[in-house]
Amino acid sequence: MNNDLSAKPSVVYHLLRQAVFEQSLIFMQGVLGKKGTLIDLGAGHCAFSRMAHAMGWKATALDVRKERVPDLPGEIGFIHGDINSMVWNPADYDVILCLGVYYHLDQNMQHRLLERCKGKPIIIDTHIANPPGMPTRYGRMLGETYEKNGEWGADYKEAPHLDDKARKETGLLASYDNPTSWWQTKDSLLQTLHQYGWPHVWTFDYDGLDFVQRTFFVCNTVDQSGTGLSGIRI
């Protein structure tokens, strides 16, 4: 693991992310007993929708920006809209994917999303804040870890070099309406997920978790302990 704080994520990290996603979906298939429907929130390049489609799921991608959406096979749906809006309905899907976008929402938006999705299997792949006193690789974009409305986390400044208009139009990987997002510590996010009705969450921790500050939270309401389904096989 390269612990140079300025280093970019490696190819291995991206491959590992795809592998963990694939394993998470296999796990969800075990929980549901079938391959079902899913929505890929903040889909961006739609690679995860396409992987899910290739694995036999009925995928719908959603993003507030269209610039990175490739030509998609007809079976993959696309919704052009905001996660925070009523343009999509969690009840229409068996599984919710929230990959690389939860950390672009502010605390209110995150709580509204969790409230809407209560009880649904959801896979969240998100950045996390390190506990107080531990260094972060995100420099001044990520503030000090503190307590906000009962959660521990840090404020993340979205594309600080862009104003609101420019961020919306050109910050293709960034948040949309909110200039600041909320990154919780891992323990705090687990607690929030429990409070919103997911008693069973397994996480995948990358090697050097403190460095990558990112993990998967695979959330469902069914206790899989002892079934051989929990955990990951890579």
Ligand X SMILES: C[S@@+](CC[C@H](N)C(=O)[O-])C[C@H]1O[C@@H](n2cnc3c(N)ncnc32)[C@H](O)[C@@H]1O
Which of 24, 31, 50, 63 binds ligand X (CB under 6 A)? It is 63
Residue whose beta carbon is closest to ligand X: 100
Rounded CA separation 158/193 (Å)? 24
Which of 173, 209, 229, 232 binds ligand X (CB under 6 A)? It is 173
Site residues for ligand X, window 15-44 (CB under 6 A)? 42-44
Angle between helices 186-195 and 107-117 (to 10 degrees): 40
Q: Does 175 bind ligand X (CB under 6 A)?
A: yes
Q: Does 186 bind ligand X (CB under 6 A)?
A: no
Tell me the window of 60-68, 113-121, 154-162, 184-192 that interacts with ligand X (CB under 6 A): 60-68
Comparison of 170 and 227: residue with beta carbon closer to ligand X: 170
Q: Does 100 bind ligand X (CB under 6 A)?
A: yes
Comparison of 161 and 228: residue with beta carbon closer to ligand X: 161
Comparison of 34 and 80: residue with beta carbon closer to ligand X: 80
Residue 200: C-alpha distances to residues 70, 85, 217 (Å): 35, 27, 10
Tell me the window of 1-9, 70-78, 82-90, 147-155 that interacts with ligand X (CB under 6 A): 82-90
Rounded CA separation 215/187 (Å)? 12
Comparison of 15 and 222: residue with beta carbon closer to ligand X: 15
Tell me the window of 30-38, 96-104, 136-144, 207-215 that interacts with ligand X (CB under 6 A): 96-104
- Check: CB of residue 193 under 8 Å from CB of residue 219: yes
Rounded CA separation 168/58 (Å)? 29
Q: Residue type for 38, please?
A: L
Rounded CA separation 14/206 (Å)? 11
Rounded CA separation 38/10 (Å)? 28
**β-pair partners for 129:** 185
Q: Does 176 bind ligand X (CB under 6 A)?
A: yes
Rounded CA separation 138/160 (Å)? 12
Which of 50, 53, 104, 214 binds ligand X (CB under 6 A)? It is 104
